Amino acid sequence: MSGLAILTLQLSHFRSHRAARLEFDGRPVALVGANGAGKTNILEAVSLLSPGRGLRRAAVEDLARRPEAIGWKVAATVAGLSAAHELETWAEGGPRQVRVDGKTAPQLALARILRMVWLVPAMDRLWIEAAEGRRRFLDRSVLSFAPDHAEAVLAYEKAMRDRNRLLKDEVRDPHWYGALEAQMAASAAVIAANRADALARLMAAQEGAETAFPRASLTLVHPEGEVDDLATALAENRRRDLAAGRTLLGPHRVDLQAVFSAKGVPADQCSTGEQKALLISLMLANARALATDLGRPPILLLDEVAAHLDAGRRTALYDEICALGAQAIMTGTEPGLFDSLGARGQSFAIADDIGQSSIREVP
């Protein structure tokens, strides 16, 4: 099964890269270089070939190279879900734009061509920090299966913002709330169904998989208990929400809980390395499930993942990526981290010499 892949990648005035070009052949990619060389910036550029704000969730103006700050562009040729395409995304003072094969397109069009799954160092504390990060992690996984999940989330958030404004303004007239709560309930039903579906797929993809990484059993936690009829529950909770000045019930409060299955230990009580292994395990499960769904494995963006693993686990990770046939684009500060990937992958040396990035393939 040949994977979705970036074949050429061109960055213009994107973060530290004034002009950079990389050529890939579909094998896993190792980007190697010192701290600050511009490795994560390259991964971020690739992540912008999917809908949304990319793997740093950066504001669009932060992506423009300083000091010029004249706008940025990422262009790529890719092996997509059904064909090869030319993708371009850029911004010049305004919102991010997208072109597919030379024609202006909405961001969502990118999800009909590529799917990506990523792991970044910021996720290392996912299991021990606030629920918001886990919810985002969950929703990113949902989006990888069902890109139109974004629409339900946006519709829900908009209605909730409007309801929260009423609460803050201490509006008590029920007349103002009904339609918003109905909208929230309708979107919440879609969100809940999408999340349940993604969770089931992640669990199924871990079941029986040959993997060196530990299985995580996942559950959704509703801090206030699960609600059958959200519209009614919101109406009943108006008084309490008025006191709080915001909506306390709904899918925006859901948490994702993971348990290290073999030990029965909740993820937040696992060791640092175990927590990382659980994340990798879920990332691989996500990729396997997508490969089954789409007939081709997604692109994986793995920032500094190798550095956290012992040599045995590193080899296992590369073996699993190669078995999956996925183009994993990985970063590391030492070439030795990718020794056991060997000729199964491509390697690039990334450097930054006084504000000028240089990239060369290492044979």
Ligand X SMILES: Nc1ncnc2c1ncn2[C@@H]1O[C@H](COP(=O)(O)OP(=O)(O)OP(=O)(O)O)[C@@H](O)[C@H]1O
> Is 39 annotated for ligand binding?
yes
> Is 40 annotated for ligand binding?
yes
User: What's the rounded Cα separation, in Å, for the pair 76 and 64?
Assistant: 18
Number of residues that bind ligand X (CB under 6 A): 15
Smaller CB distance to ligand X: residue 16 or 347?
16
User: What's the rounded Cα separation, in Å, for the pair 358 and 345?
Assistant: 20
> Is 37 annotated for ligand binding?
yes
Task: Give the alpha-carbon dihedral of 57, 60, 63, 65, to 10 degrees.
Answer: -160
Asked if 40 is part of the footprint of ligand X (rule: CB under 6 A), the reply reads yes
Residues facing 352 on adjacent strands? 357
CB of 232 to ligand X, least distance (A): 48
User: What's the rounded Cα separation, in Å, for the pair 31 and 23?
Assistant: 12
CB of 203 to Mg ion, least distance (A): 31
Residue 361: closest CA among 351, 342, 344, 347:
347
CB of 45 to ligand X, least distance (A): 10
Residue 123: closest CA among 108, 111, 110, 133:
133
Smaller CB distance to ligand X: residue 33 or 250?
33
User: What's the rounded Cα separation, in Å, for the pair 306 and 321?
Assistant: 12
Q: How many CA atoms lie within 13 A of 334 on its CB side?
A: 7
Tell me which residue has its CB nearest to Mg ion.
40
> Is 35 annotated for ligand binding?
yes
Q: Restricting to residues 51-90, which ones interact with ligand X according to CB under 6 A?
A: 62, 64-66
Instruction: Specify whether the CB–CB gap between 43 and 331 falls below 8 A.
Output: yes
Smaller CB distance to ligand X: residue 66 or 172?
66
User: What's the rounded Cα separation, in Å, for the pair 103 and 86?
Assistant: 10
The interface partner of residue 16, options being Mg ion, ligand X, none and the CB cut-off 5 to 8 Å by kind, is ligand X
Asked if 50 is part of the footprint of Mg ion (rule: CB under 5 A), the reply reads no
Sheet holding 116-119, edge to edge: 116-119, 299-302, 328-332, 29-32, 346-353, 356-362
CB of 15 to ligand X, least distance (A): 4
What is the pattern of x (binds ligand X, CB under 6 A) and - over residues 330-349? ---x----------------
In eight-state DSSP terms, residue 208 is T
CB of 355 to ligand X, least distance (A): 8
Asked if 357 is part of the footprint of Mg ion (rule: CB under 5 A), the reply reads no
Asked if 33 is part of the footprint of ligand X (rule: CB under 6 A), the reply reads yes
CB of 333 to ligand X, least distance (A): 5
Smaller CB distance to ligand X: residue 124 or 197?
124
* Listed ranges 4-12, 32-40, 202-210, 219-227: which one lies at the site for Mg ion (CB under 5 A): 32-40
Selected from 10, 12, 40, 281, the binder of Mg ion by CB under 5 A is: 40
- CA geometry: angle 270, 271, 272, nearest 5 deg: 120
Smaller CB distance to ligand X: residue 39 or 201?
39
What is the pattern of x (binds ligand X, CB under 6 A) and - over residues 163-202? ----------------------------------------
User: What's the rounded Cα separation, in Å, for the pair 297 and 292?
Assistant: 8
Question: In Å, what is the CA distance from 352 to each residue of 33, 34, 360?
Answer: 9, 9, 12
Question: Contact residues for Mg ion (CB under 5 A)?
Answer: 40
Question: Contact residues for ligand X (CB under 6 A)?
Answer: 15-16, 33, 35-41, 62, 64-66, 333
User: Residues marked as binding for ATP?
Assistant: 33-40
